[in-house]
Amino acid sequence: MSHTKYEDLMAQRAEIMRQSVGLDYAQYTTGALAFDYERLLTDTGYNVEAAAAVQSHTAVGNTPLVELENVTALVRVVAKPGKGARIFIKDEAANPSGSFKDRRASLSIHEAKKRGYQGVVAATSGNYGAAVASQAAKAGLRCIIVQEAFDSRGVAQPEIAEKTRACEAYGAEVIRLSVGPELFYVFLGVLKDTGYFNASLYTPYSILGIETLGYELAGQVRHQTGRFPDVVIATHAGGGNVTGTTRGLRAAGAVDTEMVAASVDLSGLHMASDHDFNRKSFTTGHTGFSMPFTTWPDRVDVPRSAARPLRYMDRFVTVSQGEVFYITQALAELEGLERGPAGNTALAAAFAIARELNENQVIVVQETEYTGAGKHPLAQLNLARQMGVDVVRGDPKGNKPGERIVIPEHPVQINIVDVDLDHVRRSYLSKAIDTLPKGTHLSDVDFDFLVAETRTNRQYVQEVVDALQRKTG
């Protein structure tokens, strides 16, 4: 990377983005705030069938759906008579690089190759890096992954260290950075210097690639149980998982399935803090991402995010770190599935929600991910202790992110906390209004857009917006 000054490079952001994504986002703008989201997606030419055809070429998708009969039995131990829904899990660890992120990478890499790019770049510290590297290897493209990997003492987050290894195993160059949002600046520099394709997590390709997951899942559940799932739970961070899965469910006809977004509660820890970096035992699927990305999805590395979770979630819940570690252990010892933290976050929430549902109902955890050295409760809890975080058994209500991880003493203590969606919607609208110059007039198109974004109605949006504009003068 050349040593362009921070501000100079950031000023070139729009042009670098346009060249590296090959999409002119400006043509989709329809108002001061509004853009044509559906057309942004459909113009790619991919529907579920077309995406599945690309994915089948690289052995992505068609993963097993496994009924967790013993975990369900455990739910029924702590549920009222007649309660305790059947829990299923979509074993996405069976994808080539070990997670559902292969679905997200597949269409991007396919497009990059089709359009003649020499390589791809992605800014990601998680499974997505390995997915992009794996798909790029198969496609014969060069690959660079930019990670936020270690703190100022040089201590690497163990899960990210494992992702470094995996990306390098697939032949990628991995640029590892210390903590900070200026990762984006380095990322822009790499795009500018290489002219490679920006395999962002938030392009239409990335989201359309997930639709196959929801689509497959709906069909598998119907085949195995005779009904569509009553509830699907997705671990929620940037919003792609919730968005793509729901769209896929709907494409399959599962329009009444309740979509639940689940995140690990890491409230109180700052995402850009060097001090807090290694006091988090989860690197994704946590509130540090899901709150800001739900309330303002366009904070991403492309002009408009195709992941718009507030449009799709029916419910948003959090669980604590200790509850996820507990269920991870239970999944291994009761179902013979040793899997990573991402899907197990949704599984902890599913365990609690299954207790509310009837025995004949079906709840699906829509992903698992691989596990291994670094990417494991033992690695995380050993690091937590090294960082001075207490690890104890007790009531998870005593959990305090960065200070105390409480592993439940009994499955009855696994509970969810509902996030107030009204509060989230108001926060979204507040951020939307904040982006506008003072006195900007919102058209009907903008109001329709905000109604769709928040899944509310004109009156709700009008009232909130009026109140916000009165406040800001």
Partner 1 sequence: MPNLIDKGTWVEIERIVLAAGERAPQVPDDTQRVPLVMRVKGFLMAAATVGTEVEVVTAAGRVSRGMLREANPAYSHTFGSPIGALAGIGGEVRAMLRDQGRIR
Given 67, 182, 314, 448, the residue binding partner 1 (CB under 8 A): 182
Given 109, 349, 365, 407, the residue binding partner 1 (CB under 8 A): 407
Instruction: Quote the tokens at residue 261.
Output: 């977004």
Instruction: Quote the tokens at residue 128.
Output: 């997505």
332 binds partner 1 (CB under 8 A): yes
One-letter identity of residue 412: V
Give the Å distances, CA to CA, from 88 to 11, 230, 380, 381.
48, 11, 26, 27
Give which of 208, 278, 197, 293 is closest to 245, Cα–Cα. Answer: 208
Q: Give the side-chain half-sphere CA count within 13 A for 408.
A: 20
Which 3 state secondary structure label does DSSP give 171? coil
| Whole-number CA gyration radius for the chain | 21
Shortest Cβ 125–partner 1 spacing (Å) = 13
Calculate helix-pair angle for 321-335, 377-386, nearest 10 degrees.
Answer: 150
Given 391, 421, 432, 442, the residue binding partner 1 (CB under 8 A): 391
Handedness of CA 357, 362, 365, 368 (dihedral sign): positive
Shortest Cβ 348–partner 1 spacing (Å) = 13
Given 123, 218, 330, 464, the residue binding partner 1 (CB under 8 A): 330
Shortest Cβ 467–partner 1 spacing (Å) = 27
Q: Could you tell me which stretch among 67-75, 290-298, 308-316, 343-351 binds partner 1 (CB under 8 A)?
A: 67-75
Stated as kind and residue range, the H or E segment containing 260 is strand 258-264
CB 419 within 8 A of CB 314: no
Q: Count interface residues toward partner 1 (CB under 8 A).
A: 63
Given 126, 158, 204, 340, the residue binding partner 1 (CB under 8 A): 158
Measured from the CB atom, the residue of 270 and 431 that comes closer to partner 1 is 270
Q: Could you tell me which stretch among 15-23, 149-157, 213-221, 234-242 binds partner 1 (CB under 8 A)?
A: 149-157
Given 33, 156, 260, 337, the residue binding partner 1 (CB under 8 A): 156
Given 119, 209, 214, 341, the residue binding partner 1 (CB under 8 A): 119
CB 204 within 8 A of CB 15: no
- Tell me how long the chain is: 473
| Residues between 350 and 379 that touch partner 1 (CB under 8 A) | 373-374, 376-379
Please give the residue ranges that form the binding site for partner 1 (CB under 8 A): 1, 6, 70, 73-74, 77, 119, 142-144, 149-150, 152, 156, 158, 161-162, 164-165, 168, 171-182, 185-186, 193-194, 270, 272-275, 325-326, 329-330, 332-334, 373-374, 376-379, 381-383, 391-393, 407, 410-411
